[in-house]
Every structure is written in C-alpha cells, then in structure tokens.
Structure 1
Amino acid sequence: MRIGIDVGGTNTDAVYMDGNGVVAMTKTATTEDVTGGIVAALRDLDRSPGVDMSQVKAVMIGTTHFTNALVEARRLAPTAAIRLGLPATAALPPFTDWPEHLVTAMSGRPYLCHGGVEFDGRAISPLDEDEIRKAAQDMKSNGARSVAISSVFSPVSADDEIRAAEIVRSEVPDVMVSLSHEIGRIGLLERENATIINAALRELAPTILDSLAETVRAAGISGRLYLSQNDGTLMDVDFARRYPVATFASGPTNSMRGAAFLSGLADCAVVDVGGTTADVGILVKNFPREAGTEVSVAGIRTNFRMPDVISIGLGGGSIVRQDGSDGSALTIGPDSVGYRLRQEALVFGGDTLTATDVAVAAGIADVGDHGKVAHLSTELVDEARATAARMASDVVDRMRTSEDPIPVVAVGGGSFLVPDEFDVASQVYRPDHYAVANAIGAAIAQVGGEVDRVFPVEPGQRDEVVARAKEEARERAVAAGADPGTVDIIDVDEVPIAYLPGNATRIRVKAVGDLVLEG
C-alpha cells in the first residue's frame, strides 16, 4: 500500500493505492501553510472504506513548500556564492541578473576565486587554497550560514569544488555547503544559479521535512516518506534535506506521470487544469519531455532537470471578466481566487465570477449551488467556454513538434474546461480518476539516476563511451533505491560540441527503476 499526495495552488489531492489500484482518493483545499492541507487530506483518506494506514509502506508527496519560499522571498538562509574560474568568468560574477529583492532576502555575497577546468579536465588555473580560506573567513564574519560552490565545467571534474568545500568547512564548521556538480548541468551561470537557490533553501529544509514526517506519523503511518522530484522520480528525506531545489515543478511532473498511468498513453500531450493554472506538457515514453534550454524560476535562469511545461492562467478559480462597456472582450484569468474558491465563487455564495461558475451554469460541472448562477446568460456561458477552449488549443499547438494532431489527455479538477474536441487534438482522453492524476503520479513514481557530461569520444570509441555512461546512470538509480532488476534506460542524448577540440560530445543518459519498498 502507498499514498500519493500532491499540493497545488488551490487543492491538495491524495490517493491510497493498492498496487496499481486506487482504493480511495480525496481533494481538499490547500492551506496557506501547505501542511494543513496535507493533514486534512490524510484525515479524509483515513475515513474512507478499505483504508488501513498501518499497512502503508510509503508516502510520496509533491510539495510547493520550497517553491513558495523562493517566490515569496521568505525564510531564505544568508547565502554566499563561491565561483572557481579566475582568471576566466570575471565579467559576470555570481548573482548576475538576479532579482534584487531575492539577493537582499538571502543577503547574497559573491566571491570569485581561481580554479576550474576546461571541458576535457585540463585546469584553467590551480586552485588557490588561501583565496578560499579568505573568502570563507569573510563570509563567516558577515553571517553567511549557507554557501554555494560552483566551478567551471565541474560536471567534467568536480575535484576543485570538493576541495573548496573541505576548506570552507574547516574555516566555518557549521556552514551548509551545496556543490554545483551535484545539482545542475553543463552551463556555468544557470548551474550556479540553481546551486545558490538550493543553498538558500537548505536551512528551511529540516523544518519543513520534519513537519511532513510528523504529519505522516500522526496519521498512523510507519512507512517511509519520499518527495517527488522535478524529473518525475522520487527522493528520500535525507536527499531532500541536501537538495530541496529538486522539488521544484514536481506538481506538473506528477500530473503528467499520472496521466500516462491512467490513460495508458506513453506519447501524448497532457493538459492539467487545476484551480489556478493549466499546465501543458508532452509525454515521451511515459516521462515528461524535459526543457532543452534554461528554465526561469522566480525570475532566475537555471538548468537543472525541469519538465518542458507551459502554464497559462486557466483554472477552475480563474476570474472571468467582461471588460468592454458593451459586455464584449470576455477574458479568463490570469488571476485566480485560488484556494479561496469555496469562499469567493458564485456557486459557493461568493461574489466573484469564476470559470467554475461558468462550468456549473453550462452543466459540465456539478459543485455548489446551481441556482446561484442561473442568472448567467447563455451568451456569456458560451463565450467563456469558447475562450477556454481556444486557450487550451493554442498552448497545445505551441507544444507539439509537428503539424499532425496529437492525442491529448485532460486531467486535474478543472479539466472540464478542456473541450471534448479541438483542432490540434487527434482525440481527447479523460481517464478514470483524472481529477487526482497528480497524486497518482506521485504514488507511482519511480527512482532515477542521470549522467550529463562532456566526453572526449575518440574515433571508433562512441559505443564504448555511451555504454559507460549508461552503466553509470544505472548505478546511480540503484544507489537512489531502485530495484536493479527493473532499471531501464529511458533517454540517451548525444550532442557533438563543434567549438571544442578532441571530438567533444555532451552525453546525457537517464535511467529509472521501481522503488524497493521495505517489508
């Protein structure tokens, strides 16, 4: 038995699963502190027929705690950033192009030091240990409690980052250290940014994770706690303490994985409509297509593993307006009443016209009091539905890679806003339990391992190099808790780098396997 929980901007969804079967599910309002909604969801599950919390072997949670902390610039640790790359990279120091309010919120302090390597492992300059010590002493005197260390081409050789971390810890024993080669990919600034974000969240992680663990124990569950990662795989609590940034974008990823599981489609578009946004992504071999370029998080460019998702302001709580004086120019969103839907929507006695009100008036949703929207004109309802359909169609069109229509799976509590037919969809699927696909995606998530490095590939050695990368990815998946007999390679990407000598090729390999549950 396992439980999957996904926290959205409006609702917190939870499912209790026996193998691949859904025994019980619930949808509760997300609370401002996030944890309260999880408590309520577990309480609702416990009351459901066929549920025995003592039999649960694992709880998988996709949470917005850490994303919210960054977006709201709250509870961030005073953070220093050390980059190893001098005499190169001096033109763009750490925190370049960051929103000023976030740098202020984490008391960000940048340091540039010698070190780093070329793509093939040759040193740019020797690591200057005295330079690192001076930086560590300065950050200590200025109150930094967490530090991000990044080095040029550290995914190729991490030796300088590891040694710099040892020096920093010797000077500041209590400081939390995040290393860029463990977090991001090739691309210095974006990898460094992801590492700084992780460092700023490290101090908050134990508080949040201990709270989640206590919530699970209080529900009578003795099974292990896992968190969803942004690539559709799981991490345990110890890993999450070190890498809280890996929880970002787990919500859309869980929804897409759940859509694949429920529909049986391995390759399709997924439209996940919640209370605040509609997230649209593409499934390739059961996993979300990953973003090929940097991804912006709270206005910061990053390059860690993130799904290629477009989010639009279309959800059950989206506010519907007629802006023209003659009642024309109807718009939906992008603002939403969010988790206040049950207080502010017309059907619940509020005074705000939302997309849910339109759906109830149209007879495609059955919540609240239908009588409270009986006054809405047929013209308004039809125009709002056409607007929602056009918004969904446009974003699917932007995501597809060919002119051919593609299958679309509509999931999420607000997916009634997606029409049964539209021009870029070959067919629209609404599988059973579609409203809690995100929680199901969390519950069925697997464990992964990934390699992303630049390899020198000598003539005739390509197969050997790729095989070595695949084996390393498999080993990483097993080390993360995957059953060795279930590990498969799901993605191999090779990109020759023409501007570097030595037949340099960037090779990315991703392996996944089923989680080994104790007991």
Structure 2
Amino acid sequence: MKRIGIDVGGTNTDAVLIDGTRVLGSVKTPTTADVMAGVRQAIRDLGAAAPLEGIDAVMIGTTHFTNAVVERARLERVAAIRIALPAARSLPPTVDWPDDLRAAVDPLSVMVAGGHEYDGRELVPLDRAAIRDAASRIRDAGITSVGITALFSPLTAACEEEAADLVRAVIPGARITLSHTLGRIGLLERENVTLLNAALQSLGLRTVAAFEEALAASGIAAPFFLTQNDGTVVLAALAAANPVHSFASGPTNSMRGAAFLSGRDGAMVVDVGGTTSDVGSLVHGFPREANNVVSIGGVRTLFRMPDLLPMALGGGTIIDPATGAIGPRSVGYRITEKALVFGGDTLTATDIAVAAGRVEIGDRDRVRHLDPAFVAAMLARIAGTVEEGVDRMKTSGTATELVAVGGGAFLIPDRLEGVSEVVRVAHAGVANALGAAMAQISGEVDQIFADLSRDAALAEAQAMAERRAVEAGAEPASLKVIEVEDIPIAYLPGGARRVRARVVGDVRERGAVAV
C-alpha cells in the first residue's frame, strides 16, 4: 500500500511517502500558526519530492488535542453526571483540576444515586428520575457534551449505559462519553479523562473536517486515519469521538518509527524534537504502556497512555551564554529565525552541536566565536540529561540499546553511561511521520470477566479485541495478538478475573469487505 504519513509537531510538520516498507520521499517543514496551512505545505513539498499517485491511505498525528488542554483553549463546556451517591459525595467532579482549566470547561456537575460495589453488587438502585432531571438542566443550559461516570463501571457498565439512554431521550443530539470505555478502576482519574474527552469532542470534529479539507485541497482522495497513544491508527471519523486517545501520539509515532527503521522491537528510544525530548521503551515493537497515573495539563488520568519521560531538551532549546543554563525555554518553530547559525540572536542547542561539528546546519561561521571549552561543557551537560532520562526509564541495571530519532537526534552522543549502543538510523529526522505511515490498527479489551473458566475468559477477550479491530478498519486475515494477560480477582465472586487483550492488524484496503 502507498501511504502518506504526517506528524504535526510543535516545531516541525513532517511528511513521508511509503510504498510497503520503501520510503519514496520525506520532507520536514516548520509548523505554522495555521496548522492546516502547514499540512498543505508539507504535502506540496512531499509532492515535489515524489509523485503522489495511487495513495491508499493517509495517516496523521497531531498535537491539537494535547495543546488545547495545555493552553486551556478551544474546549467545550461539558456536563458531568456522576452515578455514585450516597458514596463519593465529598469530592465533586473536577475537584482536583487546576482552576484555570476548570474555568475553561465550566462544568455543570450533577451527582445521583446508583453505581456498584467493588464486588459487582449494586450499591443502591439507579435514580432514574434524578438523571432525567439532570438531563433537563443540561439541555436548558445549552450543553450538548456529557460525561457519565458510575462507581466501579469497569466491573459492570449497566448504570452508565442506562443513564446514557435516559439522557439521549431528553437531549437527542447529545455527545456522550461513558467512562468505562476509556478509563480504569479509580473513580476520579476515570472521571477526569471522561470529562476531558467530552470537552474535546467538538474540537475533534472540527479537526477531522479541517484535515479532510486540507487533503482535498491537495488533490488527495484517500481514507485518512489519526494516530493514537498506543502506536496504532483509527479511522478519523472514529477518532473524533475519543480525542484523548491521540494525546501522546507524536512521541508514540516516533517510537514506532524507531522500531521500523532500526529493526529493534525491544530497545530504548529517545525522540529529540525541537522543543522537548521523550524517552520510552519498546516492547514487542510498541511503546511500553504506563500502568500508573498520567498527568495531562495538570489533570490526573488513568487510561491507555505510553510510558514516556519528557525532558526539556530539543534542537531549539535556549542556552544562556552567561550562565550555561540549558532550557527549559525553546525557540520552537522559530529556530530558523532565532538560532545563531541561521542569522538569529539566540544561542540554542543546535548552535552548540554545529559548533562541535556534530551536524552541518546553517552557517557554521556564525558560531566559531564560541569557546570550545564552553561548547564541550554544554555537550557534557546534555549527555548527562539524556543518561539520567534513560536510567529512570530502564527496568534493569544492564546496559541497553538506545535508538536516537527526531530532528534533534544529533544532540545524542555516541557513547552514554548505561547504554550499550546508540543506534543511528536513516530517516531519523522523520521517524514520527514514518511511524504514522506504517501504523496498524488495534483492538483492545480491558475488562472483568466472571462465571467463565480462564481459557473461556481469555478467548472471549481476544474475540472482542478482534471484533473491535475489524470495526476500526483492520484486515481480518492480518490480525495478530500482541498482548494477553489476566489477573484473578479474589474478592469478586464467580472466579472473576481482569483480562487485557490487544490485537493489531493491517489497514484494510479500499474496497475490501470486512468479514
């Protein structure tokens, strides 16, 4: 299949064209204030490098949704319905959110009776009248995006699903996010990600429509997908319903690209961008998943996210020539204006690398005045930062391979403490776009099963994951199981166990029929 992969980062927008595993062309362009204009420019530049004919699919990774949360912008007002009374009354929805983010979302919060105990028993009967009343209040307030969270809904989703039906009866056009479809055990964290998703859904719809227009204006008529946190893609129309699944897609794309380019499926990866670097670990060729709380814009969440360590180090990182302080500020996408080697007036990490002869970018004569001892000291501090990041992400004391990718990969030295080999790859600067272009489609289940034998529970979870992958656009014959695990839950009746199953498959070709 011929595919275009596009990754919209904070500093650069990268685009690649691949045919199977062959890279036909790649470009890197500065990200513009008007993101879609930058995407169109990247496609034009890619078309100049290789003919864009017979494109089967376009895969796009974007920071739109993460940026919206961080910037407290473009968020929709939401309603929060928590089904948990008489428990969980003392901590209302968004209680732990930063004040400015809560003000941006301005939630209308309602708590009603219902939910389940930790062992699956009904806590109290669902208060249907209270939900109908809440729906009327939400409708009268002009709110159309609703997040519903019930106590222990990952054990049984009955309360959330019935509440959604009741809300739709009052607000037919409501966009409803159910917490059990996103989060895990942990009421506040699951509710948090549910409400973030609800606040982003309208932006998701606008973003998908804008990408469609950008592709159409570029003369590309092919289905397009958005990349997700787990290193896979999903049809854009489906991704718009769950924008939180694209929060960390940028560094995840880079990790998948690193696996693709290096042939490694179990190494560490450092992705050095223009503003930040991310260190992560590959497991079976996919990013290791975080099993703890992940903070998004100051909000605690617990859902499917890669285990990454961000560092304030990138090609545009600002260095103070007087004190030698490195970062955390960066010139970002203005590096071609601000860095010394491009005629600017700001000393950056890229200038240090050029002065040291690690990379040929811009005009080296503009940094020849830098003291070699100062340059060496800065390189040593950069190396120390990377060594510390790798050490924090390792799960053992043995040395590990480290694949260096990203536009600023030249900042990574060839020798690092605790690293057996720094692996350099071709096309490292556009590994993120390559990761998007070659991504597969996944189906995942993380659910409690009871009254089934272990084998039956595992088989049922795998079958559910496969169905979800096919529904998302995967070719049934290509499905492959990459993860199955189960944990017996002694405090639940019926031999209950939590089962996680994940499968991946190739993108179904246009015209193919799912079976």
Deviates more, 1:22-31 or 1:239-248: 239-248
What's the counterpart of residue 508 of structure 2?
Answer: 516
Deviates more, 1:264-273 or 1:419-428: 419-428
Structure 1 CA distance, aligned partners of 2:91 and 2:487?
26
Q: What whole-Å deviation, never above 9, does each CA across 1:68-96 have from its counterpart, x for those lacking one?
A: 11111112111110011212222222112
Measured after TM superposition, the shift of residue 494 of structure 1 is 2.5
Quick check: 1:384 aligned with 2:385?
A: no
Letter in 2 for 1:27: K
Measured after TM superposition, the shift of residue 303 of structure 1 is 1.5
Quick check: 1:40 aligned with 2:32?
A: no
Letter in 1 for 2:435: G
Q: What whole-Å deviation, never above 9, does each CA across 1:178-209 have from its counterpart, x for those lacking one?
A: 11122222322211111101100112222211
Could you state the TM-score of these two structures normalised by the residue count of structure 1?
Answer: 0.95
Which of 374, 389, 411 is 1:417 aligned to?
A: 411
Structure 1 CA distance, aligned partners of 2:359 and 2:380?
16
What's the counterpart of residue 17 of structure 1?
Answer: 18
Structure 1 CA distance, aligned partners of 2:203 and 2:125?
35
Letter in 2 for 1:236: L
Query: Contact 2:76 / 2:200 at 8 angstroms: preserved in 1?
Result: yes
Letter in 2 for 1:148: G
What's the counterpart of residue 83 of structure 1?
Answer: 82
What's the counterpart of residue 51 of structure 1?
Answer: 51
- In structure 2, the residue corresponding to 1:204 is in which secondary structure? helix
Structure 1 CA distance, aligned partners of 2:158 and 2:494?
22
Q: What whole-Å deviation, never above 9, does each CA across 1:409-433 have from its counterpart, x for those lacking one?
A: 0000101111111121111111111
Query: Contact 1:3 / 1:59 at 8 angstroms: preserved in 2?
Result: yes
Q: What whole-Å deviation, never above 9, does each CA across 1:11-47 have from its counterpart, x for those lacking one?
A: 1111011111100000000112322221111010011
Structure 2 CA distance, aligned partners of 1:71 and 1:61?
20
Letter in 1 for 2:506: D
Q: What whole-Å deviation, never above 9, does each CA across 1:100-155 have from its counterpart, x for those lacking one?
A: 11111111121111222234543222211110011112222333231101112222
Letter in 1 for 2:36: T
Structure 1 CA distance, aligned partners of 2:85 and 2:481?
38
What's the counterpart of residue 5 of structure 2?
Answer: 4
Structure 2 CA distance, aligned partners of 1:378 and 1:503?
67
Letter in 1 for 2:473: G
Query: Contact 1:16 / 1:51 at 8 angstroms: preserved in 2?
Result: no
Structure 1 residues 119 and 470, CA gap change in structure 2 (3 angstroms)? farther
Quick check: 1:481 aligned with 2:473?
A: yes
Could you state the TM-score of these two structures normalised by the residue count of structure 2?
Answer: 0.96
Structure 2 CA distance, aligned partners of 1:119 and 1:475?
28
- In structure 2, the residue corresponding to 1:56 is in which secondary structure? coil
What's the counterpart of residue 494 of structure 1?
Answer: 486
Quick check: 1:214 aligned with 2:213?
A: yes
What's the counterpart of residue 467 of structure 1?
Answer: 459
Name the % identity. 52
- In structure 2, the residue corresponding to 1:267 is in which secondary structure? coil
Q: What whole-Å deviation, never above 9, does each CA across 1:484-503 have from its counterpart, x for those lacking one?
A: 12111111233344555555
Structure 2 CA distance, aligned partners of 1:189 and 1:228?
26
What's the counterpart of residue 319 of structure 2?
Answer: 320
Structure 2 CA distance, aligned partners of 1:483 and 1:145?
35
Structure 2 CA distance, aligned partners of 1:118 and 1:512?
34
Which of 340, 345, 356 is 1:351 aligned to?
A: 345
Structure 2 CA distance, aligned partners of 1:501 and 1:379?
68
After TM superposition, the structure 1 = structure 2 runs for residues 334-373 of structure 1, keeping only pairs within 5 Å, are: 334-373=328-367
Measured after TM superposition, the shift of residue 218 of structure 1 is 1.1
Structure 1 CA distance, aligned partners of 2:357 and 2:327?
21
Query: Contact 2:457 / 2:499 at 8 angstroms: preserved in 1?
Result: no
- In structure 1, the residue corresponding to 2:365 is in which secondary structure? helix
Structure 1 residues 421 and 498, CA gap change in structure 2 (3 angstroms)? farther
Letter in 2 for 1:10: T
Which of 432, 435, 438 is 1:438 aligned to?
A: 432
Query: Contact 2:444 / 2:501 at 8 angstroms: preserved in 1?
Result: yes
Structure 2 CA distance, aligned partners of 1:6 and 1:344?
23
After TM superposition, the structure 1 = structure 2 runs for residues 84-163 of structure 1, keeping only pairs within 5 Å, are: 84-163=83-162
Structure 2 CA distance, aligned partners of 1:92 and 1:503?
33
Deviates more, 1:135-144 or 1:76-85: 135-144
Structure 1 CA distance, aligned partners of 2:214 and 2:340?
34
- In structure 2, the residue corresponding to 1:432 is in which secondary structure? coil
Measured after TM superposition, the shift of residue 322 of structure 1 is 4.4
Deviates more, 1:98-107 or 1:140-149: 140-149
Quick check: 1:193 aligned with 2:187?
A: no
What's the counterpart of residue 327 of structure 1?
Answer: none
- Alignment size in residue pairs: 510
What's the counterpart of residue 64 of structure 1?
Answer: 63
Query: Contact 1:78 / 1:143 at 8 angstroms: preserved in 2?
Result: no
Query: Contact 2:61 / 2:253 at 8 angstroms: preserved in 1?
Result: yes
The runs of at least 4 aligned residues of structure 1 exceeding 6 Å deviation read: none
